[in-house]
Amino acid sequence: MRLHPSVEIDGIRYLILVEELAAIPRQTLGRVIGNAGVNRYEIVAALDMLFTGI
């Protein structure tokens, strides 16, 4: 789905709910468990859809 791209980490698929994004202090986050770089295009497209409707 365009507004909710998915990423796979350790064989488990997760949806990114871009409308739920928020600014939080980095210290609040846990350790890094993966890299969503391969999903960059889908993530940017979802942000475009959220902010511009395109």
pLDDT, one tens digit per residue, over 1-31 is 689 999 999 999 999 999 998 898 989 989 9
Query: How does residue 41 score in pLDDT terms, banded at 50, 70 and 90?
Result: very high
DSSP string, 5-35: -EEEETTEEEE--GGG-----GGGS------
**19 alpha carbon, distance to own chain's centre:** 10
Name, in order, each residue with C-beta under 8 angstroms of 43's C-beta and a sequence gap of 6 or more. Answer: 5, 16, 18, 36
Query: How does residue 40 score in pLDDT terms, banded at 50, 70 and 90?
Result: very high
Residue 1 has a pLDDT of: 64
47 contacts 9 by C-beta, under 8 angstroms: no
